[in-house]
Chains A and B, each alone.
Chain A
Amino acid sequence: MPKDPRIKKVLLIGSGPIIIGQAAEFDYAGAQACQSLREEGIEVVLINSNPATIMTDLEMADRVYVEPLSVEFVERIIARERPDGLVATLGGQTGLNLATQVAEAGILERYNVRLLGTPLRAIRQAEDREEFRNLMRAIGEPVPESWIITDESQLGDPIASQIWPLIVRPAYTLGGTGGGIAYNVDELYAITKRGLALSMRHQVMIERYLSGWKEVEYEVMRDANDTAITVCNMENFDPMGVHTGDSIVVAPSQTLSDKEYQMLRTASLKIIRSLGIEGGCNVQLSLDPNSFAYFVIEVNPRVSRSSALASKATGYTIARVSAKIAIGMHLDEIQNAVTRKTLACFEPALDYCVLKIPRWPFDKFVGADRTITTQMKATGEVMSIDRAFEPALMKAIRSLEVGVYGLANKTAHRLSDVELEDAIRIPNDERLWAIAEAFRRGMMVEEINALSNIDPWFLRKIQGLVKLETRLKLSGSTIAQLADKLENAEENTPSIETLEQEYSRVVALLREAKRAGFADRTIAEFAGVPEMRFRRLRKALGIIPVYKMVDTCAAEFEAATPYYYSCYDKEDE
């Protein structure tokens, strides 16, 4: 169906101030939605209390209200603007909660405003733990054992179940605020008390903590015609127990066979259909690393932080497409903005590896608790793309801007063996570097896996980088020698070709190191030469990056508006 002709003017609710768990990604989503709706000739009215956003720029929407995000103000804007519809699923949890309150107050009915996209009932069903679990049971999707608690006095049942550890999640909060993992009765009381106080509904859910299970997410889309697709799946480097927002995440999944990938994809589509979501949705699942057993963890019935990542990772404009679905368009009527030849109704194929590393503010808050759990602490994230996992990881580390350029940070080497094991066992912002340090000290993949439950696939990649680091260090003086010879060569004698032949082994090593993502700065350090001198050597040797497209389709179709990433591969596009 083409867009609903009755919808001429739409109110869009933004996500307000940037807070932990809800950062600039919702500005990205909102701005994309504004453009998407106006492309279809819709007049867009925007409310957002945060003026430091792109979406509140004058050219983004037709009318911009920088006003408090409260029911009262929304009502006044509705009374004045009389929009035909309200889009609630693009302003994060804040936008969604506010829209829910506005709808529940009867304001939408009073002014004859339609809630566009995902219906209110679906939002409630996804957000209310009990309703969600009942729905999952009804459609045969597994959910972990759990209890809904509205008062500490109800903790008897979970305690009697003898299932430990238990995870506590407050209802209607974002970023898992107030949640945690309880290993005993005392901890359970303490975390429950905190969670109840922070929940908008004074409600927490306590459930089996799936220790060591893989955490996998699917970004899915559905239109009013019940066509549903998955945009992207993502696998968390950190197993269950770390909030997704605090996890290192890789896209697509790396350790899932097709059977596992499709099993979880099918479950995600079944869920979005059963909820009746119209637009984007994020499904989080947990997979046993030793069987086909899985559980559905939760669903975000809206564009989420992961959607922003999935959008950038695949080139698929989730917010843009969600906005068009909200005004009644079907997936097969929306163009793929990247290829401009194919439609939004397809599933992106990646021919690269995407990595996200969260950025924590612990450098600003010295003395803060650096462990990471189910309550999100990261204030931002970086994303990188490359043809393999290793260079994507190294790029992401450099992008963090924490003064670290590779797998050696300033602290891990100072830890005692016992401290190092703790730094691997208990998730924290520096675990990645602790793992690298453990490999330097000769720890085995199996030992680190036993401590952290991180999949051996990821660990072997880090081990491989550490081995390469060792080889680079051992060849440091040869690299320096080569750099010297090049700098001091008179008028092409010896020629670069002669040097390349003479030093063929070390040149091959340098190629391998650059392909694996080692920074010039790091290699120069190992060689004891200035970074610029190494850089000149590298360029003289012809070790230079090429640029490849993010085109949503793994080169199957020509792309019109692609973006690029660098890599040390062959063909430059």
Chain B
Amino acid sequence: MRAFLVLEDGTTFEGKSLGASGCTIGEVVFNTGMTGYQEILTDPSYAGQIVTLTYPLIGNYGINPEDFESGQVQVEGFVVREAADSPSNWRSDRTLDAFLKERGIVGIQGIDTRALTRALRVRGVMMGAVSTEDTPESLLLRIKNAPNYAAADLAKKVTTPQPYRWRVEDTHPTPMEETARNVEPRYRIALLDFGVKYNILRSLAGYGCETTVYPCTATPEEVLRENPDGIFLSPGPGDPEQYDYIVRTVRGLIGKKPIMGVCMGNQILGYAFGSKTFKLKFGHRGSNHPVKDLNTGRVYITSQNHGYAVDPDGLKDGMEVAHLNLNDGTVEGLKHKELPIFSIQYHPEASPGPTDSAYFFQQYIEMLDRVYVK
């Protein structure tokens, strides 16, 4: 079946349908990672976005039951050059196309994804639509009438409706009522969910932490009710500028418990300490971004997925820049001079991407150890 991808500026690509038929509208972004499409599809930070992968052969290793980063497919639409119809990998149990159909996700294949990427690099990310039923002209009209990416409260869309737990031995979320434990946790963490990835919960569990995940609308009192040992601010989608209510919640937690933030968590901390964010022209999405740790001078290859960066100039009350991106010099991490608070803009949980930054979880534990003198 024929499908079209149309960008806000009228650029049109004709290809073949991938996944479900229908129409979808979102911000079109590219990711340069060569592996990890299943993790990308299910990462809540891609809510509201139509994702294209620059690597042309996608779906080669199929979809497996394990590599999910949330319970759903989160992308608004998916764009690839070639989707594999016969994947080959021992864990694969279905094709990419079958999976997207099953989850009702509209996609397009067979287009020149490099031309699309170049268009986004030059003109910046923009709204776009993929459809199997509209003409390019009617699609353009639909894009013009659709709300802009930055206007939607996507955190509320992807956050958990109810709190849940992730115990040390869990592989899936557990309801709060389930109180039995086989392993006593080393620390109990309260996580504010703006769009958490399972691998953050798995990583924390790997260090012996039990995590209680709270909706992004939770109040500081709700988050602190069970007297957690630490607070974790998750990644998530959307323009951080509009999350006043989250910033207020986080201000209510500062100084009460040690805090680690990742991605949106980093941006929210930026706001909480007086700064703002600005939109990057085409974002950082991929598995190859070099980041310098200003403290050690060491450089790490990191997994990234963000469209906004913290403005370093406004930071106050003891918060300072700790990591910088070597490609464009933007802020990639913050650290408080006195309080046990730090955050990074990229993804220590990887999945997909390099695991070089997993040490941040270790640092968080060590920070908790210092606070609780273990």
Contacts and interface: CB of A to CB of B under 8 A. Distances in A.
Interface in A548-573: 548, 553-558, 569-571, 573
A455 B86 CA distance: 12
Interface stretch (A15-23, A126-134, A341-349): A341-349
Interface string B44-61: 000000000011110011
Contacts of B282: 556
Interface of B is mostly: loop
Interface string A342-375: 1101111111110000000000000000000000
Contact of B117 (A257, A265, A556): A556
Interface in A457-479: 457, 460
A289 interface: yes
Given A227-B299, A332-B290, A346-B290, A258 B36 contact: yes
B318 interface: no
Interface in A255-291: 255-259, 261-262, 265-266, 269, 289-291
B238 to A, nearest CB: 23
Contacts of B353: 258, 262
A556 B32 contact: yes
Contacts of A557: 121, 327
A349 B90 contact: no
B288 A555 contact: no
A140 to B, nearest CB: 15
A522 interface: no
Contacts of A9: none
A456 interface: yes
Contact of B61 (A255, A266, A349, A554): A255
Nearest to A251: B34
B115 interface: yes
Contacts of A261: 34-35
B35 A555 contact: no
B118 interface: yes
Interface string B289-319: 1101000011111000000000000000000
Contacts of B81: 387-388
Contacts of A211: none
Contacts of B301: 229-230, 346-347
Contact of A257 (B89, B299, B300, B356): B89
B350 A225 contact: no
B86 A347 contact: no
Contact of B55 (A266, A345, A554): A554
Given A257-B35, A259-B67, A345-B290, A388 B82 contact: yes
A350 B61 contact: no
Contacts of B32: 349, 351, 553-554, 556
B33 interface: yes
A388 B57 contact: yes
A205 B111 CA distance: 50
A48 B164 CA distance: 68
Given A258-B39, A554-B117, A266 B290 contact: no
A350 B55 contact: yes
B283 to A, nearest CB: 10
A439 to B, nearest CB: 14
Contact of B297 (A225, A262, A269, A341): A225
A353 B56 contact: yes
Contacts of A350: 34, 55
Given A257-B36, A349-B32, A554-B286, 13 more contacts: A225-B297, A230-B301, A257-B91, A258-B353, A266-B355, A290-B90, A332-B290, A346-B290, A349-B34, A349-B287, A351-B54, A388-B82, A571-B118
21 contacts: A253-B35, A254-B60, A255-B89, A257-B91, A258-B352, A258-B353, A262-B35, A262-B355, A332-B290, A332-B299, A343-B327, A345-B326, A347-B287, A347-B301, A349-B54, A388-B57, A457-B86, A554-B117, A556-B121, A557-B121, A573-B118
Interface of A: 225-227, 229-230, 252-259, 261-262, 265-266, 269, 289-291, 330-332, 341-343, 345-353, 387-389, 455-457, 460, 548, 553-558, 569-571, 573
Q: Which 4 A-B pairs have the closest CB atoms?
A: A571-B115, A258-B36, A554-B54, A457-B88
